[in-house]
């Protein structure tokens, strides 16, 4: 069966719903269809709170049909392919939907098979992820009686890159509250080179790393999980300045061996005596034992999408949707736009970023409909990350392209967003969910 709509939006998540609602507000009579097979939508930013017992999972879920803006058609099917040369979307059931304008908002794909042993270990053996099942993280947190709590992330791009550390601070808070500091090692192992790339947030976060005595390991690429033996195996990456002195905060609990170094097949115990312990060379494999492991799994653009002509076919952004970084227009097809996690924009993939992207997409589509150029190039890479650092404290990192700090003009008059505080926590727990469901998904541009 073939059908035509003026605007087709593939993906009815954060970006798809927000764009549809804003388009409807901008031009009432538009014929818009959203294609998405899922019956429910979850407010993913709250996963962090669910995982620390600070919010009920059920409160983060809504029925998709309640979110589809009135007057917008919902095609409850999965897309198999997009053929932009024919202005055509092919559904898995074989139907074809043609369009005048297309918005691709298909989000990011979680790849549990992207790391050896992860799929087998996940959901048991102490391995959890707020990207998949925050309820299980909370279960593990409650079962934790001390030992190594390892927090880690992959070398691929991920959505909300702050999320893997938010839950770590909440773990630190939980451990302190339950008096387990002396028999707990919290370890952060990341392929990155620092805790956060933008000041003053980096300095503020460092206070919490110290407060919770978190051991940091930079240049660590997770390559394997051995679920039965509760071991995470890393490859050491080359760090930018050639330094291998990247373990911090190891002064306390120094007596314990928390890992092994494998060099030329020989296993050495790692005795981390002080903050300047030399962690060895690039390419060497390290094993870290864990009692609880939280990770962000490897992520990518959806596999089917990577094969379409809208995706970059090579280069560092291979697979992601190629868009102009200021106008959100496809670099190849002028009547096609991208929004959200699936795009190749060089900024953090978040719902907050979409809040600033959707109005640009809408403006440009309306301009094209009016016979003008898609010359709204207002998107400046804005993204933000509410970094929860305790059960009652949060700081709000806002930034744009090239790591330039940005600040919401109203909020920054009222609060210092670079300092973790209780009022910001209230914003995270109550204000942002309210704004998400009642303003952002309803098409308000604010
Ligand atoms: C743990 C965690 C914490 C986070 N914290 C924050 C935060 O504090 N602040 C923040 O702003 N953001 C946060 N985020 C990120 C934020 O949730 C995402 O960036 C945002 O939801 C992305 O929106 P999207 O529209 O690109 O993708 P999604 O909302 O994921 O929507 C994609 C949609 O596409 C659909 N789809 C996929 N494939 C197909 C197909 N073949 N056919 C049809 N439909 C398809 C899916 O069903 C889905 O509904 C967090 C995310 C996680 C996981």
Give domain status of residue 50, yes or no: yes
Q: Measure the N-to-C terminal CA separation of the chain; round to a whole number of Å.
A: 39
**Catalytic (active site) residue 257:** no
For residue 325, CA distances in Å to 42, 152, 340, 360, 400 come to 27, 29, 12, 11, 11
Give domain status of residue 391, yes or no: no
- Span 96-108, average pLDDT: 98
Looking from the CA of residue 41, the nearest atom of ligand 1 is: 49
Closest CA to 42 of 131, 124, 125: 131
Residue 132 neighbours by CB distance under 10 Å: 16
Q: Which domain, by its residues, includes 242?
A: 112-295
237 confidence band (pLDDT: 50, 70, 90): confident
62 CB near ligand 1 (under 6 Å) = no
SS3 198: coil
Q: Whose CA is nearest to atom 38 of ligand 1?
A: 106
* 212 and 134, same domain (yes or no): yes
* 314 and 250, same domain (yes or no): no
| pLDDT given for residue 285 in this prediction | 78
- Span 12-37, average pLDDT: 97
36 CB near ligand 1 (under 6 Å) = yes
Q: Whose CA is nearest to atom 6 of ligand 1?
A: 45
Give domain status of residue 399, yes or no: no
Between 117-121, 354-358, 369-373, 407-411, the lowest mean confidence (pLDDT) is in 407-411
* 268 and 170, same domain (yes or no): yes
Distance 282 CA to ligand 1 centre (A): 34
pTM to 2 decimals?
0.93
Look over the chain and give the mean of its residue pLDDT values, rounded to a whole number: 91
**CB-based contact 36:13 (threshold 8 Å):** yes
Q: At what angle do helices 163-177 and 134-143 cross, to 10 degrees?
A: 30
- Last residue in a domain, options 241, 270, 295: 295
Distance CA 114, CA 154 (A): 9
**CB-based contact 130:51 (threshold 8 Å):** yes
- Span 306-318, average pLDDT: 97
What CATH number did the domain enclosing 226 receive? 3.50.50.60
State the residue for tokens 């670079």. 418
Statement: residue 320 has pLDDT above 50: yes
- Span 52-64, average pLDDT: 98
Give domain status of residue 232, yes or no: yes
297 CB near ligand 1 (under 6 Å) = no
Distance 107 CA to ligand 1 centre (A): 5
Q: Which of 40, 93, 106 to mutate to test the pocket of ligand 1 (most atoms within 8 A of CB)?
A: 106
| pLDDT given for residue 74 in this prediction | 98
pLDDT in tens, 245-260: 445 544 333 334 444 4
Looking from the CA of residue 79, the nearest atom of ligand 1 is: 42
For residue 145, CA distances in Å to 89, 130, 171, 174 come to 52, 20, 12, 11
341 CB near ligand 1 (under 6 Å) = yes
**Catalytic (active site) residue 160:** yes
* 91 and 67, same domain (yes or no): yes
Looking from the CA of residue 18, the nearest atom of ligand 1 is: 25
- Span 54-79, average pLDDT: 98
Share of the chain above pLDDT 90, in %: 81
Q: In the numeric block, which tokens belong to residue 12? A: 């009815």
pLDDT in tens, 179-220: 999 899 899 999 998 899 999 999 999 999 989 988 888 888
| pLDDT given for residue 148 in this prediction | 92
Q: Say how far residue 380 (Cα) sits from the centre of its chain.
A: 19
């Amino acid at each position: 069966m073939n059908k035509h709509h003026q605007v087709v939006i593939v993906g009815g998540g954060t970006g798809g719903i927000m764009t549809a609602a804003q388009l409807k507000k901008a031009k009432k009579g538009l014929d818009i269809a959203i294609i998405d097979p899922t019956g429910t939508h979850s407010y993913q930013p709250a996963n962090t709170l669910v995982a620390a017992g600070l919010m009920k999972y059920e409160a983060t879920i809504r029925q998709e049909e309640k979110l589809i803006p009135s007057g917008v058609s919902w095609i409850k099917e999965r897309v198999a392919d997009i053929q932009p040369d024919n202005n055509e979307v092919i559904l898995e059931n074989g139907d074809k939907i043609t369009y005048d304008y297309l918005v691709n908002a298909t989000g990011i794909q979680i790849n549990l098979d992207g790391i050896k042993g992860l799929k087998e270990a996940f959901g048991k053996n102490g391995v959890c992820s707020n990207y998949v099942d925050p309820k299980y993280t909370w279960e593990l947190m409650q079962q934790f009686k001390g030992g190594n709590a390892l927090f880690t992330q992959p070398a691929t791009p991920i959505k909300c890159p702050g999320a893997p550390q938010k839950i770590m601070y909440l773990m630190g808070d939980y451990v302190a509250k339950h008096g387990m500091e002396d028999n707990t090692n919290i370890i952060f192992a990341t392929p990155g080179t620092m805790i956060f790339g933008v000041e003053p947030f980096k300095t503020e976060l460092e206070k919490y790393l110290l407060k919770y005595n978190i051991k940091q390991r930079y240049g660590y690429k997770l390559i394997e999980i051995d679920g039965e033996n509760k071991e995470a195996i890393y490859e050491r990456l080359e760090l930018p300045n050639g330094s291998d002195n990247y373990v911090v905060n190891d002064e306390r609990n120094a007596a314990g061996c928390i890992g092994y170094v494998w060099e030329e097949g020989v296993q050495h115990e790692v005795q981390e005596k002080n903050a300047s312990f030399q962690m060895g060379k690039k390419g060497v494999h390290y094993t870290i034992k864990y009692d609880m492991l939280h990770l962000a799994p490897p992520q990518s653009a959806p596999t089917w999408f990577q094969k379409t002509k809208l995706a970059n076919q090579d280069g560092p952004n291979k697979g992601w949707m190629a868009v102009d970084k200021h106008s959100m227009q496809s670099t190849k097809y002028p009547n096609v736009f991208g929004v959200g996690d699936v795009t190749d924009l060089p900024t953090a993939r978040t719902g907050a970023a979409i809040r600033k992207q959707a109005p640009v997409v809408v403006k440009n589509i309306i301009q094209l409909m009016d016979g003008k150029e898609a010359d709204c190039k207002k998107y400046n890479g804005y993204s933000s990350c509410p970094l929860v650092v305790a059960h009652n404290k949060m700081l709000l990192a806002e930034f744009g392209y090239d790591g330039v700090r940005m600040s919401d003009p109203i909020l920054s008059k009222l609060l210092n967003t670079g300092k973790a505080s209780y009022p910001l926590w209230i914003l995270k727990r109550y204000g942002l969910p309210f704004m998400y469901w009642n303003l952002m998904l309803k098409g308000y541009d604010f």
